């Protein structure tokens, strides 16, 4: 049973525009699954289970627990990278890099109803749309420690990506659970913002 099912019924509408991106190495004061439970109790729109350093076997084990929590709180669960894990779980969705989407055989692609794709320039936006992406994650938009020394793309890129794309675009990079910042990316035309450290460290 999820731990935080008896929290206050208030729902902050900001979370309707937040996609959680996981990184278990950033969790400090709870176990990883307890942090996922707490984050999902805030009712974000989506969660991408992005644990790229895990083996496929370990990812499968943790994915089952995370999916159960997402299902309990009605959060859209997205496996990341591990296509075989998604198939084994019977999950019809996957988030991929553009390179992985390019290389995915058509017969495998047809197994998935929802395919997310990470993009970094307008050419990639166009290509990902052509390859059938259901949504895009575009970045990085703001300065972030994850991309130290790299100039952020900025909101001008985000606006252009949203205009060019035929599918929803989510912003990523330097985004915090902050009303003003989430409002800014939504005003650019994005579905919302993807947040990693701000969600993994949420108290």
Catalytic residues: 140
Asked if residue 37 lies in contact with residue 5, where contact means CB atoms within 8 angstroms, the answer is no
- Please provide the DSSP assignment of 16-59 as one string: GGEEEE--GGG--SS-HHHHHHHHHTT--SEEEE--TTS-HHHH
Q: Both tokens of residue 56? A: 């496929």
Q: Report d(CA 83, CA 66) in Å as an integer.
A: 16
Determine the Cα angle at 97 with ends 96 and 98, to 5°. Answer: 115
Dihedral (CA of 182, 59, 93, 34) sign: negative
> How far apart (Å, rounded) are the C-alpha atoms in residues 140 and 64?
29
Question: CA 156 → CA 14, 50, 118, 176, distances in Å?
Answer: 22, 27, 18, 19
Residue 100, helix vs strand vs coil:
helix
């Amino acid at each position: 049973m999820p731990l935080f099912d008896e929290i206050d019924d208030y729902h902050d509408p900001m979370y309707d525009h937040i996609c959680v991106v996981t990184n278990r190495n950033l969790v400090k004061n709870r176990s990883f699954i307890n942090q996922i439970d707490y984050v999902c109790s805030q009712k974000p729109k989506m969660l991408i289970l992005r644990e790229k350093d895990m083996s496929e076997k370990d990812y499968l084990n943790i994915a089952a627990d995370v999916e159960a929590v997402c299902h309990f709180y009605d959060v859209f669960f997205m496996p990341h990278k591990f296509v075989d894990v998604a198939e084994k779980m019977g999950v019809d969705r996957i988030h991929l890099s553009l390179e992985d989407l390019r290389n995915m055989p058509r017969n495998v692609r047809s197994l998935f109803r929802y395919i997310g794709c990470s993009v970094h320039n307008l050419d990639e936006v166009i290509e990902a749309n052509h390859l059938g992406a259901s949504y895009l994650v575009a970045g990085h938009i703001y300065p972030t420690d994850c991309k130290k020394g790299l100039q952020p793309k900025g909101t001008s890129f985000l606006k252009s990506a949203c205009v060019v794309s035929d599918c929803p675009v989510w912003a990523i990079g330097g985004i915090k659970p902050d009303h003003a910042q989430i409002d800014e990316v939504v005003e650019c035309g994005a579905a919302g913002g993807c947040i990693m450290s701000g969600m993994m460290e949420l108290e």
